[in-house]
Amino acid sequence: MFVKILTKEYKGEKRYYKQKIMINRNVSIGILKDELIHVILEKDPAEQAKRMEAIYDELSRNVVPIRDNRHHHRTKGVLTGKS
C-alpha cells in the first residue's frame, strides 16, 4: 500500500530525473516488516500516526532509478563456469 502511494506521488511530481524512479522493493519490505509491528501494537492513536509518518518518510528516501536497456541474458547450467 505504501509503495503504491509513493510510486504514484513520484510519477505525479515534476522533478527533473534522467530516468524513471521507483521505490526499492527489497528495502521497503524490510522497513515494513520491522516497523509495522510496532505500529499495530501501539495503543495511542497519536503515536501510531507518528510512527506511520516515520515509515512513510523512510520509504520515500529509498528511491532508485529505472534504467533502460539493463536486462542482460543470464547463462545457466554448464556454461556458467561453475564446477
Contact 7, 23 (CB under 8 A): yes
Q: Is residue 17 part of a domain?
A: yes
Tally of domains within the chain: 1
The pLDDT of residue 12: 54
Q: Is residue 29 part of a domain?
A: yes
Q: Is residue 39 part of a domain?
A: yes
Most confident of 14-23, 24-33, 56-65: 24-33
| Runs of H (alpha helix) within the chain | 2-12, 25-41, 45-60
Q: Which of 54, 62, 63 is nearest to 36 (CA)?
A: 54
- Domain range for 43 is 2-68
pLDDT in tens, 40-65: 999 999 999 999 899 888 888 888 87
When comparing pLDDT for 66 and 51, which is higher? 51
Q: Is residue 54 part of a domain?
A: yes
